[in-house]
Amino acid sequence: MLSVFYWDVYSNNKIRKEVFINPVYATAKVSNIVHRSKGPDYAVFSFSVNGQNYEGATFKDYTGGIGDEICIQYLKSSPDINMYCEESELETFIAGSLIPSLSLLAFLCFALSLYVGWKVLRKDKDFTAVRKIKG
């Protein structure tokens, strides 16, 4: 669980550091909003450089709409490496990985405790019984 969040932070920060080497600012148009069942929505945007079309996506939650014009940055030598201007700040391990992992773990522990409590209060014989093993 922690490794998934860590990979997300690592890969996003890698893009940020690459773009910081030689950034070019441009305007892109939001072409799609992707609604995730787990996690925040993100935007897919498109822009062109010297007649060539490129796409990118926001890293985190995007609250705008399709057709919005947004500021993006891309690496001058490779416009495929790009990002939304409002997400240029590097993420930290604690905020980006550790806290979401611990929050998810706390939620799972809470759900398990509710389930166990419900089974015990119902006096579920299959759940609370000690069985002898024949042998």
Q: Where are the beta strands (DSSP E) in the chain?
A: 23-34, 42-49, 52-57, 69-75, 78-84
For 15-87, CATH gives 2.40.50
How do the domains of the chain map onto residue ranges? 15-87
User: pTM of the full predicted structure?
Assistant: 0.60
How far apart (Å, rounded) are the C-alpha atoms in residues 87 and 43? Answer: 12
pLDDT of residue 122: 72
Where is 109: in which H helix or E strand?
helix 99-121
How far apart (Å, rounded) are the C-alpha atoms in residues 64 and 62? Answer: 6
pLDDT along the chain (135 residues), means of 10: 60 84 93 80 92 91 90 93 84 58 74 79 63 64
- Angle, alpha carbons 34-35-38 (nearest 5°): 125
